[in-house]
Amino acid sequence: MDLVQVFSNSGDLAGNNRRLHFCPQCGQRLHQKTLAKFERQRCDRCAFVHYLNPHPGITIIIRSREGKVLIGRRSERSRYGGRWCLPGGYIEYEESFIDTAHREVAEETGLKIRIDGIVNVVSNHLDDLHHTLVVVLTGQQSGGILRPGDDLTALRWIDGEQHKEIGYAFEADRSIVDCYFAGNIKILPIDPGAEQRLA
């Protein structure tokens, strides 16, 4: 049960489904150009480059006092609907990853949390449209009332035995929960000031 940092599904990961036809700055048709060994689209008129980057997000192992982990079932209308995942989501431009953790946990679970630290960072190439860079945190409930929300339709606390039976949406989630129940995670503390600034 070693920590794993890179996950890649088979299939095309060239970003072809994220390409644009026209410059978002000036409307000119974009052209392919090789930049730092990658094919990117560039505007000949205004020099705009359409870079392709992963989308940063967070996910979090919320631990109960008994050492259980909170997971949620994804709604049928979401990708991998009906499967289970750790709470989490994409970081909005105005947020720190810590802000995102508090917001996503509140939206998806109804809980307030204390974040204890970082346990992993993951490159997750899901498919040609979805490449995420995920900071995996851990924390514990500090308030709130458990209630599924946003894209989650159910929540459950699982122990190490129940974990083995779960159909996870993301291999990265299964992997880090494996490590947690195997007692094989270390916690990199976060700046306590970052938590206080939110208060």
Return the number of the residue (26 or 146) whose C-beta is nearest Zn ion: 26
Return the number of the residue (48 or 168) whose C-beta is nearest Zn ion: 48
Report in angstroms how near the CB of residue 43 gets to Zn ion at its nearest: 3
Return the number of the residue (16 or 25) whose C-beta is nearest Zn ion: 25
**Number of residues forming the site for Zn ion (CB under 5 A):** 8
Return the number of the residue (48 or 97) whose C-beta is nearest Zn ion: 48
Contact segment (CB under 5 A) with Zn ion among 18-26, 106-114, 161-169, 179-187 equals: 18-26
Which whole-number Å values give the CA distances from 91 to 5, 10, 59, in the listed order?
Answer: 19, 26, 10
Return the number of the residue (45 or 147) whose C-beta is nearest Zn ion: 45
Binding to Zn ion (CB under 5 A) within 124-183 occurs at none
Report in angstroms how near the CB of residue 41 gets to Zn ion at its nearest: 10
Report in angstroms how near the CB of residue 33 gets to Zn ion at its nearest: 13
Question: 60, exposed or middle or buried, with CB in 10 Å at 0-12, 13-18, 19+?
Answer: buried
Nearest residue to 158 (alpha-carbon basis) of 84, 101, 76: 84
Report in angstroms how near the CB of residue 163 gets to Zn ion at its nearest: 50
Nearest residue to 131 (alpha-carbon basis) of 13, 12, 35, 4: 13
Report whether 54 contacts 147 (CB < 8 A): no
Q: How far is CA 145 from the centre of its chain?
A: 23
Binding to Zn ion (CB under 5 A) within 91-130 occurs at none
How far apart CA 176 and CA 186 sit, in angstroms, is 11
Report whether 90 contacts 57 (CB < 8 A): yes
How far apart CA 93 and CA 161 sit, in angstroms, is 38
Binding to Zn ion (CB under 5 A) within 22-61 occurs at 23, 25-26, 28, 43, 45-46, 48
Report in angstroms how near the CB of residue 49 gets to Zn ion at its nearest: 10
User: Residue 91 has what DSSP assignment?
Assistant: P
> Where do contacts with Zn ion occur on this chain (CB under 5 A)?
23, 25-26, 28, 43, 45-46, 48
